[in-house]
Amino acid sequence: MDSAETTTYKSGPPFPDDVPTAPLLRLSLAKLQAKDPEEIKRFTSACEDLGFFYLDLRGPGDKILQQSSDLFDVGKELFDLPLEEKKKYNFEHLKSYLGYKHMGASVADKHGNLDRNEFYNVGKDDMFEIGEKWPAPGVLESRRDLIKSFMASAYSIVSLVLELLNDHLALPPGTLQSMHRLEGHGGDQVRFIKAPPQPQDDRTIALGEHTDFGSVTVLFNRLGGLQVLPPGADAEWCYVKPLPGHAIINLGDAMVKFTNGLLRSNIHRVVSPPGEQADSTRYSLVYFNRPEDDVILRRLQNSDRIPPLTTGLVEDEVTSKDWIIRRALGSRPALHGKDAFDLSKSRGTEAISQRVN
């Protein structure tokens, strides 16, 4: 068992023990790297059943733990900038989801409520100087090396996940990896998130329910608030308790498309942190890995393990790039007016995720 200090954060209010929590498996990076057969079995069931797991990074992942902690500090400094300054880095009018999104810029639920968090998205291609260089505030410009090395560390976790899934699916060696090259042009990004405490009498959704758009997400949380919806018709939202020394890993839409639903991209959302944590500002840090821009999101050939398509079904020819832009910007009223309130227009694989039929 883990010692007490690894089950809760030392500073700040505790995560309450009387709220429903999600049964995420706790996997070990060291064991997965060593290709421990039992751990790989647990990994594959986590990817097929819940699509979410904890990854214990202590030991081989000490570097990314330190980098993520340094980036939490950068995130605080970044969001402390005046709103007018941050708004200079909103590039949605250029059809880019990179840069700043202010609070309330997207539709969070079917009732038309708006989100309650700020984002700042930093592109991998920008940091690795293989894509457009976007203007950025000094706090980010001066930390490019840190952001880049965090991206490289997160990518190395992603590439282990891709390798293990490639093996599990018995795809020709390197199939998934070749669609997600660090040096390829793609939509991988870091996201800084800030959600301030919500008013006591009006605590609700900060980030609307969604599946992630890409392949593998590496998430660092300190406060509760993230919730997942387990599969099944009667499923109820459960909190994901943040664990020090661990990242939360989840799969996105691309993995569902590639495997015709064998792998699971779980629906999740962020609400006001539970219990005493509700009065604290919630920061989180994410690395999103996505297929390269030109990859078509459809069932992969060359695997006997991937279920066949329903007879007669012809899949759309959507590229990864178009899929992500539609999903990331589709719910922004400033861009799409009343269409942004029709969440079916920005939806991904949510219907499959529920596994109701």
Ligand X SMILES: O=C(O)CCC(=O)C(=O)O
Chain position carrying tokens 């609070």? 103
Give 35's DSSP letter.
T
Q: Which entry of Fe ion, ligand X, none binds 39, CB below 5 to 8 A by partner kind?
A: none
Q: Which entry of ligand X, Fe ion, none binds 286, CB below 5 to 8 A by partner kind?
A: ligand X
**Distance separating alpha carbons of residues 314 and 89, to the nearest angstrom:** 40
Nearer to Fe ion, 125 or 212 (CB): 212
Phi, psi (deg, nearest 5) at residue 166: -60, -45
Contact between 226 and ligand X by CB under 6 A: the answer reads yes
Which residues have a Cβ under 8 Å from the Cβ of 240 and sit 6 or more positions away?
A: 21, 22, 24, 52, 221, 224, 226, 227, 228, 248, 268
Of the candidate residues 121, 153, 175, 221, the single one contacting ligand X (CB under 6 A) = 221
Nearer to ligand X, 74 or 207 (CB): 207
Nearer to Fe ion, 136 or 216 (CB): 216
Nearer to ligand X, 57 or 270 (CB): 270
Phi, psi (deg, nearest 5) at residue 176: -65, -40
Q: Are 144 and 136 in contact (CB under 8 A)?
A: no
Kindly determine how many residues on this chain lie close enough to bind ligand X according to the rule CB under 6 A. Answer: 11
Q: Which entry of Fe ion, ligand X, none binds 160, CB below 5 to 8 A by partner kind?
A: none
Q: Which entry of ligand X, Fe ion, none binds 126, CB below 5 to 8 A by partner kind?
A: none
Q: How far is the CB of 22 from ligand X (least distance, A)?
A: 12
Of the candidate residues 153, 284, 320, 349, the single one contacting ligand X (CB under 6 A) = 284
Q: How far is the CB of 172 from Fe ion (least distance, A)?
A: 30
- Of 81-89, 100-108, 197-205, 219-227, the segment contacting ligand X by CB under 6 A is 219-227
CB atoms within 10 A of CB 192: 23
Contact between 286 and ligand X by CB under 6 A: the answer reads yes
Which SS3 state, helix, strand or coil, does residue 217 take?
strand
Contact between 270 and ligand X by CB under 6 A: the answer reads yes
Of the candidate residues 101, 241, 257, 268, the single one contacting ligand X (CB under 6 A) = 268
Closest-CA residue to 162 (of 150, 151, 171, 149): 171
- Burial of residue 83 (CB within 10 Å: 0-12, 13-18, 19+) is exposed
Q: Which entry of ligand X, Fe ion, none binds 270, CB below 5 to 8 A by partner kind?
A: ligand X
Contact between 189 and ligand X by CB under 6 A: the answer reads no
Of the candidate residues 101, 116, 180, 191, the single one contacting ligand X (CB under 6 A) = 191
Nearer to Fe ion, 89 or 213 (CB): 213
Q: How far is the CB of 209 from Fe ion (least distance, A)?
A: 9
Report the half-sphere exposure of 122 (CA within 13 A, side-chain side): 28
Report the half-sphere exposure of 108 (CA within 13 A, side-chain side): 18
Q: How far is the CB of 268 from Fe ion (least distance, A)?
A: 6
Residues that bind Fe ion (CB under 5 A): 212
Closest-CA residue to 258 (of 162, 181, 330, 187): 162
Nearer to ligand X, 71 or 219 (CB): 219
* Displacement of CA 316 from its chain's centroid (Å): 24
Residues that bind ligand X (CB under 6 A): 191, 193, 207, 212, 219, 221, 226, 268, 270, 284, 286
